[in-house]
Structure formats: C-alpha cells, structure tokens
Chain A
Amino acid sequence: MPYFIFLVIFVVLPLLLILIYALQDGAGHFTLKNIAKFFSDGDSLSTFALSIEVAIENTALCILIGYPAAWILANKDLNRSAVTVVLFILPMWINALMRTLATAELFTMAGIQLGKGTLLFGMCYDYLPFMIYPIYNVLNKMDKSYAEAAQDLGATPGEVFRKVTLPLSMPGIMSGVMMVFMPTVSTFAISEFLTNNKIKLFGTIIQENINNSMWNYGAALSLIMLIIIGITTFLQGGDSEEAVSGGAI
C-alpha cells in the first residue's frame, strides 16, 4: 500500500500534470496546438535532431572507452582488486553539476574553445561510469569456461572475444546504452556550461520554456520526449531481455 501511494504521488500525478498542461492553452482550454507547434517549428525539430545526434555520439564514445575499461577491470590477471572498480565509479559521488562546472573552468583556464568537442568530453566524463559498470558486471560474472571451451575448440584469443565474449556481454552493453543514451537526450546543464549555451539541446529548450513560464509548450515538449524515450526503451527492452535470457544460464 505505501508503494501504491508513492507511485501515485511521484509517478502518476506528475505524468498526469504533464499530460494536462501539454494539452491546454494558456487559458486552460483543450488544444493540440502545443504539439503541432513542435512539429511545425524548424528550430525545435533541428534541436531535437541535434540532441539525438549528440546522444548517439556520446553513447558510441562511452562504449569505445567503457568496454575496454570494463574488460580490464573484470580481467583477474590485470586487475586483482575491487578498489580499482570503485575508483572508476568514484567521480559519481560528486554532484554532476559541480563536476561539469569544474570541467568548464578547466577548459577556460587552459584556453580551450568551448564547443561540441568540450560538450562531448563533458558528457562522456559524466556518463562513462554508467557504461562501465553494467558491462563490468556481466563480464565479471561470465563463466570462464565459455572462453576456455572456445579456445579448446580452436579459437584464437581474438576469435574467442568476437565469437563468445562479446556476444555474451551484449546484455551489459544494452543496459549501458539505456543508462547513457536516454539521459543524454534530455540533458541541459552540461550543454549550458560546457558550450556557454552555444549549442542547445532538447533539454535546454524545455528548461527555457518552463523558466519563461511557457508551461504548456514546455509540458508538450516533455511529453514528446517521454514518448520517444518510451518507444526506444520498449524496443531496446525487448532486445536486452532476450539477450539477458541468452546470457543467463
């Protein structure tokens, strides 16, 4: 019962509020104008496209850096202590906003132009642990005998990785992708601080609208984002569920 009350207050009610605000005009009458405005507004659409692009780039970057890191952490020959794992996750103990501000200051001090490069750096820095940890978890729990069996059947170390380790670690990659991709689409603080507001992401627009008391359009944008995230989660959820059961044994 307490869970039910919790769900109502913190999940159902806010969602309903978003829905109601999104479908009303300033005077409180029902309208679909807010939704239509988004699809007819070239700026909003291109910002949205840019957000998706940045999110994809950031996710790819996180996989490229995060997978090898997770692999090294999970490899008992290379890493014998759990402390190293904690070190990788340690930055998460500090508030993301503070880290981002500090990063921006460092760039300014070093005289590096703020722009897309610094934005991706900041995002990757913020979200990398979310990619490393699920992959590390899967690799760490993976039965060593799969790799041994592949070796025994004639696979070189490279083939063992491509044909066994990588496919079996897909569930970890999938949950890493979900934990990195979704939040990057809606982030605004990082882009604000690390590009001096030069690059606007979808989250930034929502934040600006709500800050300027344009509640209805802000709510409509939130709703659209929620729906899109919902659809991708659902699609990926189906995938990763299959992958998880595939790796469960």
Chain B
Amino acid sequence: MAKDERIINIQHLSKSFGDKKVLDDINLYVRRGEFLTLLGPSGCGKTTLLRMIAGFMQPDEGSILLDGKDIAGVPPHERPLNTVFQRYALFPHLDVYDNIAFGLKLKKTPEDEIDKRVRKVLKLVAMSDYEDRDVETLSGGQQQRIAIARAIVNQPKVLLLDEPLAALDLKMRKDMQIELKEMHRKLGITFIYVTHDQEEALTLSDTIVVINEGKIQQIGTPTDIYNEPVNAFVADFIGESNILKGRMIKDRRVAFIKHQFDCVDEGFGEDVPVDVVVRPEDIYFTTDPAKCQFKATVNSCIFKGVHYEMWVDTDTGYELMIQDYDPYPVGSEVMLYIDPDDIQVMKKERRSNVLSGVVKDEETIRIFDADFPIPNDFEPGTDVVVDVPFDGVELLDNLDEGVLNGEVHFILYMGNHYHLYVKTEDSDYFYVDTNDIWDKGDLVGIKLLPETIKLSKKDEND
C-alpha cells in the first residue's frame, strides 16, 4: 500500500492518568476516505484516543502523523479536523445558521460563500428550513444533524465522531446509521467513529479497531472481526458466541465439548490447549445420523423476532447457544453438527495466573502487596514465580475472608463453567475458573488454594 494512502498514522501512542495506563502502545493507521471505528466497552480508552487526535489531550509517548507530519504540538484550532461531540455541544446562544457558520466566520470566509456553504450542508443533512431556529427547540436527532453539519461545513480532512448516536432512541439510531453511511459516501471525507455498540460498528465501518483496557485487540473488516475473532474478548464483545476450552489435536483437527471436530486452522502445533469460538447460528440441526457430530437436549427455546434462540445441553455436559429459524421443542433430543469453516480456533492468551512474589517466611509469600499463606521451602527474600491455575483461585462473598479484594471485571461463559477476570484495587488481575455465578461489578475476597500452586525461583534473566 502506498504510504500516501495513510492519512493518519499513530505510532507507539501511550497515555496515563495518574497511575492508570489508559492507552498502551497504540499502533494504527487510517486510510484516506475510509470509515474507521474505534470499538470497545466504556473506559477502554477509545474516547481518549479520539481526543488526542483532535488535539484536546497530548500523548505521553508516541506520535500522531497527519499526512506524514507529526501534529504533536499543533493546538486543536489549527488542526484540519472537526469533531461531532457526544452531547452535540451546539452553542445555545446562537441559532442553527450561526452555529453552522461559526467555523467559516472565524476563517473570515466571505459572506456569500458562507451563505452558500451553510445552505448546502443544511440540504445534505435534510434540515433546510431550520436555519433560523433556536438550537434548543430541536429534537435530539435534529441537533445531531446540525452538529454534523457544523463540522462538515468546514471541509475537514478527517471527521471525528464521538459516540454521536448514543443519546438517540433505537429507531432514530438505525435511521441515522444509514444516513451517516450515505453521507460518508457522498462527502468522501475520512471518518473516525467511536462507539461501544458492536452492531453499529459492524453496520457502518470499513475497518473496526477493537480496543480493551487501553490495548488494541484486533483490527480488521467487520466480517474479519466477526468471523475470525483473535481472542475470547473480541469473540464475546462482537455478537453472540459460544466460547469453549479446546485442544488442538493436530492441524485441522480440534477437540472441544469432549468431541473431536474437523476445522480449517493450522499451525498451532499438536496437543495444544486453545480457545474455540462457535457462533450460535453456525451450529446446525440434522436428522441424518451420518452427519451428526454430537447429540444434545433442548433446555430452552425463545423467539427473538427473526430467529429462535435455543440453549441445549450436550451429551457431554456442556451448554451451547444455538440460533435457528425453526424452533425445536424443549426436552427434545436433537442431532447437531458444525462445519469445519465455522470453527474459529484462537491461541490461549494464558493458561494460568503467573504472578511474581517475594518469599516472606516459610508460610507466607507476598504477591501484589498482600501476604498470601503459601507454604514454601525458599529463603526469605527470594523472588519467586507463583503459578496458580484458574481453578486455584477462590472467590469469597465475605471480603474480610479474602487476602486481597477485587471486582469482577469481565465474565465469559465457557459452556460448563465461568471464566472471570477479577481486578484488584491496584489494577492487577486474577483469572478465575468457577462454577459459581457472579455478576460484573461484584466485589469479592480473593484467596489462593496452596495445594494447586506451583512455585519456582525467579530466573534472573527473565
């Protein structure tokens, strides 16, 4: 790809607020004219990234290049970019016309030129008769259109949109999505769009950048991201999915839910633990015993408008979600199969909690500034690596019983158990497998089960 095609190039960008790293080594480029979406849950850093591109914040490290030039020291009013703000930020003391003309008047554009351009964008956003209206008398959707008009009238090189549809109701949001897409096509301006709504991102974007915890998880087209999520977070965040523990037996052969399946993935090695994603619409019912790969019993069936959503219990004790146009009665035995193409195998991000600790005495090891009772044979003061399996972490309702406290931060249902990310007050993580049901945001006490832990002396070279 020609370098010139990259209108924005972000390199090694990092930003911290106090101790909290909100963006960590972001590398990303935006192609001229494309619709790029920064997608992630709230607090993932996507808005911070957008604000740094707009110039309202300065990065701690790294650079943002616009047309090949570093714009680090350029104040927002000198950047050829315009923003559509989340709450629109239309000036309440100006009418619709003056709001839109604001940027042009600052640039001392001749009156008749301003007039022509304001009318043109009003027509583009279908608000032609509203120029004299007070902005506060407009509905949310209309304010939205004016906010977009106010930005694009300046013909920016890049239009930045910060969750512009978040405040609208569902029906309005759908209509505006179509209009935005249409506007992007007509204008040919590069759009950078921030949203937490995965469906919106899939609908609008040429490219999606999935961000979580300040790190880019995956960059790709909507179909790439949906069909080939690179990790459990992306799979869970985009659309519905069955995320399961698996084992790569050899190339093109994977085992999960205690059955073996053909797949199309290669290069993981032999007998390697992996995560497997199967979308609920990719599990098929069959009546042909030759095609059947596993059997299951339907335990719930709900009509969702277009399709039915069913939960089935497999003969091996796993729970799967299936979406199909035809309902199957609750309690019925069904035969199921999955196409090799529809099985997405992902490298495991981690197989256990690998924590670094310092030995305090033969009964105690200090980890994350807390004293965990772990019997050991090391000299006090030794740096050790503490390897705790996911099921070696115990979560407790009673915070006082835990050695450390944490908050349930992320939950994945893995078919027959839950996989939790538990975040401590100091933003350290424990990864936990459990059969107990917790909710996101629950406060828990954390204990480690000493008998499951593997200890080793820390290698100086690590």
> Is B306 interfacial (CB 8 A cutoff)?
no
Q: Verify B89–A246 contact, CB threshold 8 A.
A: no
- SS of A interface (majority): helix
> Is A151 interfacial (CB 8 A cutoff)?
yes
A30 to B87, CA, bound (A): 63
- Chain A positions within 8 Å of B89 at CB level: 143, 145-146, 148-149
> Is B179 interfacial (CB 8 A cutoff)?
no
Please tell me the number of chain A residues within 8 Å of chain B, measured between CB atoms. 22
Q: Verify B85–A246 contact, CB threshold 8 A.
A: no
Q: Which of A79-87, A152-160, A215-223 contacts B (4 or more CB under 8 A)?
A: A152-160
Q: Verify A155–B106 contact, CB threshold 8 A.
A: yes
A156 to B87, CA, bound (A): 22
Q: With A145-B85, A153-B154, A156-B77 in contact, is A164–B91 under 8 Å at CB?
A: yes
Q: With A143-B87, A159-B106, A249-B136 in contact, is A152–B92 under 8 Å at CB?
A: no
A248 to B137, CA, bound (A): 12
Q: Verify A153–B93 contact, CB threshold 8 A.
A: no
CB-CB nearest in chain B for A156? B77
Q: Verify B54–A152 contact, CB threshold 8 A.
A: yes
CB-CB nearest in chain B for A170? B93
Which B56-96 residues have a C-beta within 8 angstroms of A?
56, 75-78, 81-83, 85-87, 89-93
> Is B150 interfacial (CB 8 A cutoff)?
yes
Q: With A145-B85, A249-B136 in contact, is A151–B91 under 8 Å at CB?
A: no
- Chain B positions within 8 Å of A150 at CB level: 91, 102
> Is B220 interfacial (CB 8 A cutoff)?
no
- Chain A positions within 8 Å of B81 at CB level: 152
> Is B103 interfacial (CB 8 A cutoff)?
yes
A167 to B98, CA, bound (A): 14
- A3 CB → nearest B CB, Å: 33
- A183 CB → nearest B CB, Å: 29
Q: With A143-B87, A148-B56 in contact, is A168–B92 under 8 Å at CB?
A: yes
Q: Verify A152–B91 contact, CB threshold 8 A.
A: no
B77 CB contact (under 8 Å) in A145, A152, A164, A249: A152
Mark each residue of chain B from 195 to 207: 1 if its CB lies under 8 Å from any CB of chain A, else 0: 0000000000000
Which A225-249 residues have a C-beta within 8 angstroms of B?
245-249
- Chain B positions within 8 Å of A168 at CB level: 91-93
Q: Verify A154–B154 contact, CB threshold 8 A.
A: yes
Q: Verify B93–A152 contact, CB threshold 8 A.
A: no
A248 to B136, CA, bound (A): 9
> Is B186 interfacial (CB 8 A cutoff)?
no
Top 9 nearest A-B pairs (CB, nearest first) are A153-B103, A145-B89, A149-B89, A151-B76, A154-B106, A249-B92, A167-B93, A152-B83, A154-B77
Give 19 CB contacts A-B under 8 Å. A146-B91, A148-B83, A148-B89, A149-B85, A149-B91, A149-B150, A151-B75, A151-B76, A152-B54, A152-B82, A152-B83, A152-B151, A153-B151, A154-B77, A154-B78, A155-B77, A155-B106, A164-B91, A247-B92
